[in-house]
Structure 1
Amino acid sequence: MTKQSIIFFDIDGTLLNHDKKLPALTKQSIFKLKELGHKVAIATGRAPFMFEDLRKELEIDTYVSYNGQYVVLDGEVLFTYPLDMMSLEKLTADALLKDHPIVYMDHEDMKANVLKHQYIEESIRSLKIGRFPTHDPHYYKGRELYQALLFCREGEETSYQQSFQDFDFVRWHPVSVDVIPTGGSKAKGIDKIVEKLGFSRERVYAFGDGLNDKEMLLTVENSVAMGNGEEEIKKVAKYVTKSVEDDGIYHGLQMVGLL
Protein backbone atom coordinates (compact mmCIF):
# COMPACT_ATOMS: atom_id res chain seq x y z
CA MET A 1 0.00 0.00 0.00
CA THR A 2 1.41 3.36 -1.04
CA LYS A 3 1.78 5.80 1.82
CA GLN A 4 -1.09 8.26 1.48
CA SER A 5 -0.42 11.78 0.23
CA ILE A 6 -2.71 14.71 -0.48
CA ILE A 7 -2.42 16.52 -3.81
CA PHE A 8 -3.94 19.93 -4.56
CA PHE A 9 -4.56 21.00 -8.15
CA ASP A 10 -5.25 24.46 -9.51
CA ILE A 11 -7.87 24.49 -12.28
CA ASP A 12 -7.22 27.00 -15.07
CA GLY A 13 -4.00 26.24 -16.91
CA THR A 14 -3.37 23.25 -14.65
CA LEU A 15 -6.24 20.75 -14.72
CA LEU A 16 -7.93 22.51 -17.63
CA ASN A 17 -6.11 23.47 -20.81
CA HIS A 18 -6.40 26.82 -22.55
CA ASP A 19 -9.67 25.75 -24.18
CA LYS A 20 -11.00 24.97 -20.67
CA LYS A 21 -11.00 21.26 -21.48
CA LEU A 22 -9.86 18.44 -19.20
CA PRO A 23 -7.21 16.38 -21.01
CA ALA A 24 -8.01 12.65 -21.05
CA LEU A 25 -4.67 11.66 -19.49
CA THR A 26 -5.14 14.21 -16.72
CA LYS A 27 -8.49 12.67 -15.84
CA GLN A 28 -7.00 9.19 -15.88
CA SER A 29 -4.17 10.37 -13.63
CA ILE A 30 -6.57 11.81 -11.04
CA PHE A 31 -8.50 8.55 -10.79
CA LYS A 32 -5.26 6.56 -10.63
CA LEU A 33 -4.14 8.67 -7.67
CA LYS A 34 -7.36 7.86 -5.86
CA GLU A 35 -7.06 4.19 -6.78
CA LEU A 36 -3.63 4.22 -5.13
CA GLY A 37 -5.19 5.59 -1.95
CA HIS A 38 -4.20 9.25 -2.20
CA LYS A 39 -6.42 12.22 -1.33
CA VAL A 40 -7.09 14.53 -4.28
CA ALA A 41 -8.26 18.12 -3.82
CA ILE A 42 -8.67 21.33 -5.80
CA ALA A 43 -7.15 24.73 -4.95
CA THR A 44 -8.54 27.51 -7.13
CA GLY A 45 -9.41 31.16 -7.32
CA ARG A 46 -12.78 30.19 -8.76
CA ALA A 47 -16.06 30.28 -6.86
CA PRO A 48 -17.56 26.90 -5.91
CA PHE A 49 -20.35 27.33 -8.45
CA MET A 50 -17.79 27.86 -11.21
CA PHE A 51 -16.36 24.33 -11.05
CA GLU A 52 -19.22 22.17 -9.85
CA ASP A 53 -19.25 20.17 -13.09
CA LEU A 54 -15.51 19.51 -12.82
CA ARG A 55 -15.88 18.31 -9.22
CA LYS A 56 -18.59 15.89 -10.30
CA GLU A 57 -16.56 14.63 -13.26
CA LEU A 58 -13.49 13.99 -11.11
CA GLU A 59 -15.48 12.93 -8.02
CA ILE A 60 -13.69 15.46 -5.81
CA ASP A 61 -15.44 16.88 -2.74
CA THR A 62 -12.50 18.58 -1.01
CA TYR A 63 -11.44 21.98 -2.24
CA VAL A 64 -9.97 25.39 -1.52
CA SER A 65 -11.94 28.01 -3.45
CA TYR A 66 -11.79 31.79 -3.73
CA ASN A 67 -8.01 31.61 -3.23
CA GLY A 68 -8.47 30.24 0.29
CA GLN A 69 -11.55 32.09 1.52
CA TYR A 70 -14.02 29.19 1.27
CA VAL A 71 -12.69 25.75 2.17
CA VAL A 72 -14.62 22.49 1.97
CA LEU A 73 -13.50 19.11 3.30
CA ASP A 74 -15.39 15.99 2.20
CA GLY A 75 -18.39 18.06 1.19
CA GLU A 76 -18.60 20.04 4.46
CA VAL A 77 -17.55 23.67 4.93
CA LEU A 78 -14.38 23.69 7.02
CA PHE A 79 -13.33 27.36 6.95
CA THR A 80 -14.48 30.74 5.64
CA TYR A 81 -12.74 34.12 5.56
CA PRO A 82 -15.12 36.83 4.30
CA LEU A 83 -14.32 40.32 3.05
CA ASP A 84 -14.64 43.31 5.39
CA MET A 85 -17.95 44.91 4.46
CA MET A 86 -17.11 48.50 5.44
CA SER A 87 -13.96 48.43 3.34
CA LEU A 88 -15.82 46.84 0.44
CA GLU A 89 -18.42 49.60 0.52
CA LYS A 90 -15.68 52.24 0.37
CA LEU A 91 -13.91 50.32 -2.43
CA THR A 92 -17.15 50.29 -4.39
CA ALA A 93 -17.56 54.04 -4.07
CA ASP A 94 -13.96 54.72 -5.12
CA ALA A 95 -14.13 52.32 -8.06
CA LEU A 96 -17.36 53.82 -9.40
CA LEU A 97 -15.65 57.20 -9.66
CA LYS A 98 -13.03 55.62 -11.94
CA ASP A 99 -15.49 53.59 -14.03
CA HIS A 100 -14.07 50.38 -12.56
CA PRO A 101 -17.00 47.97 -12.02
CA ILE A 102 -17.11 45.33 -9.29
CA VAL A 103 -18.60 41.86 -9.11
CA TYR A 104 -19.55 40.60 -5.63
CA MET A 105 -19.25 36.87 -4.97
CA ASP A 106 -20.44 34.48 -2.29
CA HIS A 107 -20.52 30.67 -2.35
CA GLU A 108 -23.69 30.56 -4.45
CA ASP A 109 -23.74 33.47 -6.89
CA MET A 110 -22.09 36.58 -8.34
CA LYS A 111 -23.63 40.00 -8.91
CA ALA A 112 -22.30 43.07 -10.72
CA ASN A 113 -22.76 46.62 -9.48
CA VAL A 114 -23.29 47.87 -13.06
CA LEU A 115 -25.72 46.69 -15.71
CA LYS A 116 -23.11 46.04 -18.38
CA HIS A 117 -19.40 46.59 -18.92
CA GLN A 118 -16.93 45.43 -21.57
CA TYR A 119 -14.31 44.39 -19.00
CA ILE A 120 -16.77 42.11 -17.19
CA GLU A 121 -17.86 40.42 -20.40
CA GLU A 122 -14.30 40.04 -21.69
CA SER A 123 -12.83 38.48 -18.56
CA ILE A 124 -15.74 36.28 -17.46
CA ARG A 125 -16.11 34.98 -21.02
CA SER A 126 -12.49 33.78 -20.89
CA LEU A 127 -13.46 31.33 -18.10
CA LYS A 128 -15.94 29.60 -20.43
CA ILE A 129 -18.29 28.74 -17.58
CA GLY A 130 -21.45 29.62 -19.52
CA ARG A 131 -22.57 32.02 -16.81
CA PHE A 132 -22.35 35.78 -16.33
CA PRO A 133 -23.06 37.92 -13.26
CA THR A 134 -26.46 39.55 -13.12
CA HIS A 135 -27.05 43.08 -11.82
CA ASP A 136 -27.49 43.82 -8.11
CA PRO A 137 -25.53 46.84 -6.82
CA HIS A 138 -26.54 46.07 -3.22
CA TYR A 139 -25.59 42.39 -3.18
CA TYR A 140 -22.77 43.06 -0.73
CA LYS A 141 -25.18 44.20 1.98
CA GLY A 142 -26.19 41.77 4.70
CA ARG A 143 -24.29 38.68 3.52
CA GLU A 144 -20.82 37.21 3.69
CA LEU A 145 -18.80 37.68 0.51
CA TYR A 146 -15.57 35.77 0.02
CA GLN A 147 -14.20 37.54 -3.02
CA ALA A 148 -14.87 40.45 -5.32
CA LEU A 149 -13.66 41.13 -8.83
CA LEU A 150 -12.39 44.61 -9.58
CA PHE A 151 -12.19 45.42 -13.28
CA CYS A 152 -9.32 47.65 -14.30
CA ARG A 153 -6.30 47.52 -16.58
CA GLU A 154 -2.85 46.38 -15.47
CA GLY A 155 -1.25 48.89 -13.14
CA GLU A 156 -4.50 50.64 -12.26
CA GLU A 157 -4.89 48.50 -9.15
CA THR A 158 -1.87 50.20 -7.55
CA SER A 159 -3.89 53.06 -6.08
CA TYR A 160 -6.30 50.59 -4.50
CA GLN A 161 -3.45 48.58 -3.01
CA GLN A 162 -2.19 51.72 -1.30
CA SER A 163 -5.63 52.75 0.01
CA PHE A 164 -7.17 49.47 1.15
CA GLN A 165 -5.12 47.62 3.75
CA ASP A 166 -7.90 45.08 4.38
CA PHE A 167 -7.59 43.65 0.89
CA ASP A 168 -5.07 41.96 -1.37
CA PHE A 169 -5.45 42.53 -5.10
CA VAL A 170 -4.37 39.57 -7.26
CA ARG A 171 -4.48 39.93 -11.03
CA TRP A 172 -5.92 37.01 -12.98
CA HIS A 173 -6.83 38.70 -16.28
CA PRO A 174 -5.56 41.78 -18.19
CA VAL A 175 -8.71 43.69 -17.13
CA SER A 176 -9.56 42.06 -13.78
CA VAL A 177 -8.12 41.45 -10.32
CA ASP A 178 -9.35 39.26 -7.49
CA VAL A 179 -10.08 41.18 -4.29
CA ILE A 180 -9.51 38.96 -1.25
CA PRO A 181 -8.94 39.57 2.48
CA THR A 182 -5.39 40.60 3.33
CA GLY A 183 -3.32 37.54 4.07
CA GLY A 184 -5.78 35.18 2.47
CA SER A 185 -4.31 32.64 0.06
CA LYS A 186 -4.59 29.14 -1.27
CA ALA A 187 -1.74 28.23 1.08
CA LYS A 188 -3.76 29.13 4.17
CA GLY A 189 -6.76 27.20 2.91
CA ILE A 190 -4.56 24.20 2.25
CA ASP A 191 -3.15 24.46 5.78
CA LYS A 192 -6.67 24.16 7.21
CA ILE A 193 -7.29 20.90 5.34
CA VAL A 194 -3.83 19.44 5.98
CA GLU A 195 -4.07 20.24 9.69
CA LYS A 196 -7.53 18.69 9.97
CA LEU A 197 -6.47 15.49 8.20
CA GLY A 198 -3.11 15.26 9.92
CA PHE A 199 -0.85 14.96 6.88
CA SER A 200 2.86 15.56 7.42
CA ARG A 201 4.45 18.27 5.27
CA GLU A 202 6.38 15.80 3.13
CA ARG A 203 3.11 14.13 2.08
CA VAL A 204 1.56 17.34 0.66
CA TYR A 205 1.78 18.21 -3.06
CA ALA A 206 0.45 21.12 -5.13
CA PHE A 207 0.29 21.92 -8.86
CA GLY A 208 -0.26 25.42 -10.24
CA ASP A 209 0.61 27.88 -12.98
CA GLY A 210 -0.55 31.41 -12.10
CA LEU A 211 0.35 34.29 -9.82
CA ASN A 212 -2.38 33.34 -7.36
CA ASP A 213 -0.53 30.02 -6.93
CA LYS A 214 2.70 31.64 -5.79
CA GLU A 215 2.23 31.40 -2.02
CA MET A 216 0.82 27.88 -2.37
CA LEU A 217 3.89 26.73 -4.30
CA LEU A 218 6.22 28.52 -1.91
CA THR A 219 4.58 26.91 1.12
CA VAL A 220 3.79 23.34 0.06
CA GLU A 221 6.70 20.95 0.50
CA ASN A 222 6.33 19.33 -2.92
CA SER A 223 5.34 22.09 -5.34
CA VAL A 224 5.03 21.63 -9.10
CA ALA A 225 4.74 24.45 -11.63
CA MET A 226 3.20 23.78 -15.01
CA GLY A 227 5.37 24.27 -18.08
CA ASN A 228 2.89 26.87 -19.31
CA GLY A 229 3.09 28.73 -16.00
CA GLU A 230 4.33 32.24 -15.29
CA GLU A 231 8.14 32.46 -15.11
CA GLU A 232 7.84 33.84 -11.58
CA ILE A 233 5.92 30.71 -10.58
CA LYS A 234 8.44 28.34 -12.13
CA LYS A 235 11.19 30.00 -10.09
CA VAL A 236 9.51 29.33 -6.74
CA ALA A 237 8.35 25.75 -7.39
CA LYS A 238 10.39 22.71 -6.42
CA TYR A 239 9.61 21.04 -9.75
CA VAL A 240 8.57 22.19 -13.23
CA THR A 241 6.58 19.79 -15.36
CA LYS A 242 5.43 19.95 -18.97
CA SER A 243 2.68 22.22 -20.27
CA VAL A 244 -0.96 21.42 -19.58
CA GLU A 245 -1.25 20.90 -23.34
CA ASP A 246 1.47 18.21 -23.15
CA ASP A 247 -0.08 16.20 -20.30
CA GLY A 248 1.82 18.13 -17.66
CA ILE A 249 -0.19 16.68 -14.77
CA TYR A 250 0.64 13.09 -15.72
CA HIS A 251 4.33 13.85 -16.25
CA GLY A 252 4.51 15.91 -13.06
CA LEU A 253 2.98 13.10 -10.98
CA GLN A 254 5.53 10.73 -12.47
CA MET A 255 8.30 13.21 -11.74
CA VAL A 256 7.47 13.36 -8.02
CA GLY A 257 6.96 9.61 -7.75
CA LEU A 258 3.20 9.50 -7.19
CA LEU A 259 2.50 7.57 -10.40
Structure 2
Amino acid sequence: MADKSIIFFDIDGTLLNHEKQLPSSTKTSISQLKEKGHEVAIATGRAPFMFKDLRTELDIHHFVSYNGQYVVLNDEVIYTNPLDGQALEKLTAMALEHEHPVVFMDHEDMRANVPEHDYIIESLRTLQVEMPAVDPAYSQGRPLYQTLLFCPEGEEEQYEEAFPEFDFIRWHPVSVDVIPKGGSKANGIEQIVRRLGFAKEQQYAFGDGLNDIEMLSELHHSVAMGNALPVVKKAAKYVTASVEDDGIWRGLQLVGLL
Protein backbone atom coordinates (compact mmCIF):
# COMPACT_ATOMS: atom_id res chain seq x y z
CA MET A 1 0.00 0.00 0.00
CA ALA A 2 3.06 2.23 0.27
CA ASP A 3 2.65 3.47 -3.29
CA LYS A 4 -1.11 3.97 -3.01
CA SER A 5 -3.00 6.94 -1.59
CA ILE A 6 -6.49 7.97 -0.55
CA ILE A 7 -8.03 11.13 -1.97
CA PHE A 8 -11.05 12.90 -0.46
CA PHE A 9 -13.15 15.21 -2.62
CA ASP A 10 -15.72 17.78 -1.58
CA ILE A 11 -18.78 17.88 -3.87
CA ASP A 12 -20.19 21.34 -4.49
CA GLY A 13 -17.69 23.61 -6.19
CA THR A 14 -15.13 20.79 -6.26
CA LEU A 15 -16.45 17.68 -8.00
CA LEU A 16 -19.52 19.49 -9.31
CA ASN A 17 -19.43 22.87 -11.03
CA HIS A 18 -21.78 25.72 -10.23
CA GLU A 19 -24.49 24.20 -12.44
CA LYS A 20 -24.16 20.98 -10.39
CA GLN A 21 -22.66 19.18 -13.37
CA LEU A 22 -19.72 16.79 -13.25
CA PRO A 23 -17.02 17.96 -15.69
CA SER A 24 -15.91 15.21 -18.06
CA SER A 25 -12.26 15.77 -17.08
CA THR A 26 -13.18 15.19 -13.43
CA LYS A 27 -14.94 11.92 -14.19
CA THR A 28 -11.98 10.73 -16.26
CA SER A 29 -9.55 11.74 -13.51
CA ILE A 30 -11.45 9.76 -10.85
CA SER A 31 -11.47 6.72 -13.12
CA GLN A 32 -7.72 7.03 -13.68
CA LEU A 33 -7.05 7.27 -9.95
CA LYS A 34 -8.97 4.06 -9.35
CA GLU A 35 -7.17 2.32 -12.21
CA LYS A 36 -3.87 3.20 -10.51
CA GLY A 37 -5.11 1.51 -7.32
CA HIS A 38 -5.78 4.62 -5.27
CA GLU A 39 -8.76 4.87 -2.92
CA VAL A 40 -11.24 7.63 -3.74
CA ALA A 41 -13.69 9.05 -1.21
CA ILE A 42 -16.14 11.93 -0.81
CA ALA A 43 -16.09 14.43 2.07
CA THR A 44 -19.16 16.67 2.02
CA GLY A 45 -21.61 18.63 4.09
CA ARG A 46 -24.42 17.01 2.12
CA ALA A 47 -26.65 14.24 3.42
CA PRO A 48 -26.01 10.70 2.09
CA PHE A 49 -29.32 10.69 0.21
CA MET A 50 -28.30 13.83 -1.68
CA PHE A 51 -25.42 12.25 -3.61
CA LYS A 52 -26.35 8.62 -4.24
CA ASP A 53 -26.33 9.12 -7.99
CA LEU A 54 -22.90 10.74 -7.89
CA ARG A 55 -21.47 7.85 -5.88
CA THR A 56 -22.90 5.41 -8.39
CA GLU A 57 -21.60 7.35 -11.38
CA LEU A 58 -18.08 7.54 -9.95
CA ASP A 59 -18.15 4.07 -8.33
CA ILE A 60 -17.26 5.48 -4.90
CA HIS A 61 -17.92 3.43 -1.77
CA HIS A 62 -16.33 5.53 1.00
CA PHE A 63 -17.72 8.86 2.17
CA VAL A 64 -17.77 11.41 4.94
CA SER A 65 -21.14 13.16 5.02
CA TYR A 66 -22.80 15.82 7.18
CA ASN A 67 -19.38 17.46 7.66
CA GLY A 68 -18.02 14.38 9.41
CA GLN A 69 -21.01 13.20 11.43
CA TYR A 70 -21.95 10.16 9.31
CA VAL A 71 -19.09 8.12 7.85
CA VAL A 72 -19.22 5.12 5.52
CA LEU A 73 -16.41 2.76 4.51
CA ASN A 74 -17.00 0.13 1.82
CA ASP A 75 -20.72 0.95 1.94
CA GLU A 76 -20.90 0.21 5.69
CA VAL A 77 -21.52 2.83 8.39
CA ILE A 78 -18.47 3.01 10.66
CA TYR A 79 -19.05 6.21 12.61
CA THR A 80 -21.92 8.47 13.64
CA ASN A 81 -21.99 11.61 15.77
CA PRO A 82 -25.56 12.82 16.32
CA LEU A 83 -26.67 16.21 17.57
CA ASP A 84 -27.58 16.73 21.23
CA GLY A 85 -31.36 16.27 21.18
CA GLN A 86 -32.20 18.46 24.17
CA ALA A 87 -30.07 21.34 22.94
CA LEU A 88 -31.59 21.02 19.47
CA GLU A 89 -35.09 21.27 20.97
CA LYS A 90 -34.14 24.54 22.64
CA LEU A 91 -32.50 25.85 19.47
CA THR A 92 -35.62 25.05 17.47
CA ALA A 93 -37.79 26.93 19.97
CA MET A 94 -35.49 29.94 19.81
CA ALA A 95 -35.50 29.82 16.02
CA LEU A 96 -39.31 29.82 15.97
CA GLU A 97 -39.33 32.92 18.16
CA HIS A 98 -37.09 34.69 15.62
CA GLU A 99 -39.02 33.32 12.62
CA HIS A 100 -35.98 31.36 11.47
CA PRO A 101 -37.02 27.98 10.01
CA VAL A 102 -34.98 24.81 10.51
CA VAL A 103 -34.67 21.57 8.58
CA PHE A 104 -33.95 18.38 10.52
CA MET A 105 -31.71 15.81 8.79
CA ASP A 106 -30.97 12.16 9.47
CA HIS A 107 -29.24 9.63 7.21
CA GLU A 108 -32.38 8.88 5.20
CA ASP A 109 -34.36 12.10 4.84
CA MET A 110 -34.98 15.69 5.92
CA ARG A 111 -38.02 17.52 7.24
CA ALA A 112 -38.79 21.21 7.77
CA ASN A 113 -40.36 22.46 10.99
CA VAL A 114 -42.53 25.01 9.16
CA PRO A 115 -44.44 25.10 5.85
CA GLU A 116 -42.87 26.46 2.69
CA HIS A 117 -40.45 29.28 3.48
CA ASP A 118 -38.52 31.57 1.11
CA TYR A 119 -35.18 30.97 2.85
CA ILE A 120 -35.51 27.20 2.54
CA ILE A 121 -36.44 27.42 -1.12
CA GLU A 122 -33.74 29.94 -1.98
CA SER A 123 -30.88 28.00 -0.42
CA LEU A 124 -31.84 24.39 -1.16
CA ARG A 125 -32.53 25.20 -4.80
CA THR A 126 -28.82 25.91 -5.19
CA LEU A 127 -28.16 22.25 -4.33
CA GLN A 128 -30.77 21.09 -6.86
CA VAL A 129 -32.48 18.81 -4.36
CA GLU A 130 -36.16 18.26 -3.60
CA MET A 131 -37.76 20.54 -1.05
CA PRO A 132 -38.33 18.86 2.35
CA ALA A 133 -41.76 17.84 3.55
CA VAL A 134 -43.02 19.42 6.78
CA ASP A 135 -42.82 17.53 10.09
CA PRO A 136 -42.14 19.66 13.20
CA ALA A 137 -41.81 16.45 15.27
CA TYR A 138 -39.16 14.85 13.04
CA SER A 139 -36.42 15.63 15.56
CA GLN A 140 -38.05 13.46 18.21
CA GLY A 141 -37.02 9.84 18.72
CA ARG A 142 -34.34 9.62 16.03
CA PRO A 143 -30.66 10.56 15.72
CA LEU A 144 -30.07 13.67 13.65
CA TYR A 145 -26.62 14.40 12.26
CA GLN A 146 -27.14 17.92 10.98
CA THR A 147 -29.76 20.63 11.09
CA LEU A 148 -30.08 23.55 8.71
CA LEU A 149 -30.82 26.89 10.35
CA PHE A 150 -32.09 29.56 7.98
CA CYS A 151 -31.19 33.13 8.87
CA PRO A 152 -29.42 36.09 7.23
CA GLU A 153 -25.67 36.49 7.62
CA GLY A 154 -24.64 37.57 11.10
CA GLU A 155 -27.85 36.47 12.81
CA GLU A 156 -26.38 33.07 13.64
CA GLU A 157 -24.17 34.78 16.25
CA GLN A 158 -26.98 34.76 18.82
CA TYR A 159 -27.27 30.99 18.40
CA GLU A 160 -23.51 30.50 18.66
CA GLU A 161 -23.58 32.29 22.00
CA ALA A 162 -26.62 30.38 23.29
CA PHE A 163 -25.61 26.89 22.16
CA PRO A 164 -21.98 25.92 22.85
CA GLU A 165 -22.96 22.31 22.05
CA PHE A 166 -23.00 23.14 18.34
CA ASP A 167 -20.85 24.55 15.58
CA PHE A 168 -22.49 26.80 13.00
CA ILE A 169 -21.04 26.78 9.48
CA ARG A 170 -22.47 29.14 6.90
CA TRP A 171 -22.83 27.74 3.40
CA HIS A 172 -25.38 30.15 1.92
CA PRO A 173 -26.36 33.80 2.57
CA VAL A 174 -29.52 32.60 4.35
CA SER A 175 -28.48 29.18 5.70
CA VAL A 176 -25.99 27.61 8.11
CA ASP A 177 -25.19 24.00 8.95
CA VAL A 178 -25.65 23.11 12.61
CA ILE A 179 -23.39 20.22 13.66
CA PRO A 180 -22.05 18.84 16.95
CA LYS A 181 -19.31 20.95 18.54
CA GLY A 182 -15.92 19.90 17.24
CA GLY A 183 -17.36 17.80 14.45
CA SER A 184 -15.60 18.26 11.13
CA LYS A 185 -14.73 16.60 7.86
CA ALA A 186 -11.21 16.14 9.24
CA ASN A 187 -12.55 14.05 12.11
CA GLY A 188 -14.68 11.97 9.75
CA ILE A 189 -11.69 11.41 7.48
CA GLU A 190 -9.67 10.15 10.44
CA GLN A 191 -12.27 7.41 10.98
CA ILE A 192 -11.59 6.10 7.48
CA VAL A 193 -7.81 6.47 7.18
CA ARG A 194 -7.23 4.87 10.57
CA ARG A 195 -9.10 1.75 9.48
CA LEU A 196 -7.43 1.58 6.07
CA GLY A 197 -3.97 2.26 7.45
CA PHE A 198 -2.92 5.15 5.24
CA ALA A 199 0.01 7.19 6.51
CA LYS A 200 -0.31 10.99 6.57
CA GLU A 201 1.87 11.24 3.46
CA GLN A 202 -0.70 9.15 1.57
CA GLN A 203 -3.68 11.36 2.35
CA TYR A 204 -5.03 14.02 -0.04
CA ALA A 205 -8.05 16.35 0.03
CA PHE A 206 -9.67 18.76 -2.43
CA GLY A 207 -12.17 21.42 -1.37
CA ASP A 208 -13.44 24.96 -1.82
CA GLY A 209 -15.78 25.93 1.04
CA LEU A 210 -15.64 27.14 4.62
CA ASN A 211 -16.50 23.65 5.85
CA ASP A 212 -13.34 22.39 4.11
CA ILE A 213 -10.91 24.53 6.09
CA GLU A 214 -10.14 22.02 8.84
CA MET A 215 -9.81 19.19 6.31
CA LEU A 216 -7.43 21.22 4.15
CA SER A 217 -5.47 22.41 7.18
CA GLU A 218 -4.96 18.97 8.67
CA LEU A 219 -4.34 16.68 5.71
CA HIS A 220 -0.76 16.35 4.50
CA HIS A 221 -1.61 17.06 0.84
CA SER A 222 -4.42 19.59 0.50
CA VAL A 223 -5.64 21.34 -2.62
CA ALA A 224 -8.02 24.30 -2.77
CA MET A 225 -9.99 24.90 -5.92
CA GLY A 226 -9.39 28.10 -7.87
CA ASN A 227 -12.97 29.13 -7.13
CA ALA A 228 -12.43 28.77 -3.37
CA LEU A 229 -12.67 31.69 -0.96
CA PRO A 230 -9.32 33.34 -0.08
CA VAL A 231 -9.47 32.01 3.49
CA VAL A 232 -9.91 28.48 2.12
CA LYS A 233 -6.98 28.85 -0.27
CA LYS A 234 -4.86 30.03 2.64
CA ALA A 235 -5.63 26.80 4.52
CA ALA A 236 -4.46 24.55 1.67
CA LYS A 237 -0.95 23.57 0.64
CA TYR A 238 -1.76 23.90 -3.07
CA VAL A 239 -4.24 25.85 -5.21
CA THR A 240 -5.47 24.43 -8.50
CA ALA A 241 -7.64 25.90 -11.25
CA SER A 242 -11.37 26.43 -10.79
CA VAL A 243 -13.83 23.57 -11.08
CA GLU A 244 -14.95 25.09 -14.38
CA ASP A 245 -11.40 24.97 -15.74
CA ASP A 246 -10.56 21.28 -15.16
CA GLY A 247 -9.45 22.03 -11.61
CA ILE A 248 -9.55 18.44 -10.39
CA TRP A 249 -7.52 17.10 -13.29
CA ARG A 250 -4.99 19.94 -13.01
CA GLY A 251 -4.78 19.56 -9.24
CA LEU A 252 -4.12 15.83 -9.42
CA GLN A 253 -1.32 16.53 -11.88
CA LEU A 254 0.03 19.24 -9.60
CA VAL A 255 0.41 16.82 -6.66
CA GLY A 256 1.76 14.03 -8.86
CA LEU A 257 -1.14 11.57 -8.66
CA LEU A 258 -1.83 11.72 -12.42
TM-score band by shorter chain is: over 0.9
Percent identity of paired positions between Structure 1 and Structure 2: 67
Query: Map of 1:3-82 to 2, 5 A cutoff?
Result: 3-82=3-82
Q: Tell me by how many angstroms 1:2 deviates.
A: 8.1
Does residue 93 (structure 1) correspond to residue 97 (structure 2)? The answer is no
Measured against aligned partners, the alpha-carbon deviations of 1:73-93 in whole angstroms (never above 9, x if no partner) come to: 000001000000000000000
Question: Which residue matches 2:218?
Answer: 219
Query: Map of 1:1-259 to 2, 5 A cutoff?
Result: 3-129=3-129, 131-259=130-258
TM-score by length of 1: 0.99
Question: Which residue identity lines up with residue 69 of structure 1 in the other structure?
Answer: Q
Measured against aligned partners, the alpha-carbon deviations of 1:136-180 in whole angstroms (never above 9, x if no partner) come to: 000000000000000000000000001101000000000000000
Partners of 1:231 and 1:50 in 2: CA distance: 27
Equivalent position SS for 2:161: helix
Partners of 2:152 and 2:190 in 1: CA distance: 32
Partners of 1:18 and 1:239 in 2: CA distance: 21
Equivalent position SS for 1:37: coil
Partners of 1:35 and 1:230 in 2: CA distance: 32
Partners of 1:66 and 1:40 in 2: CA distance: 18
Equivalent position SS for 2:178: strand
Q: Is the Cα–Cα contact under 8 Å of residues 2 and 36 in structure 1 kept in the other structure?
A: no
Q: Tell me by how many angstroms 1:116 deviates.
A: 1.2
Question: Which residue identity lines up with residue 126 of structure 2 in the other structure?
Answer: S
What residue ranges of structure 1 are gaps of 5+ in the alignment?
none
Q: How many matched pairs?
A: 258
What residue ranges of structure 2 are gaps of 5+ in the alignment?
none
Q: Tell me by how many angstroms 1:132 deviates.
A: 1.1
Q: Is the Cα–Cα contact under 8 Å of residues 12 and 18 in structure 1 kept in the other structure?
A: yes
Q: Is the Cα–Cα contact under 8 Å of residues 2 and 37 in structure 1 kept in the other structure?
A: no
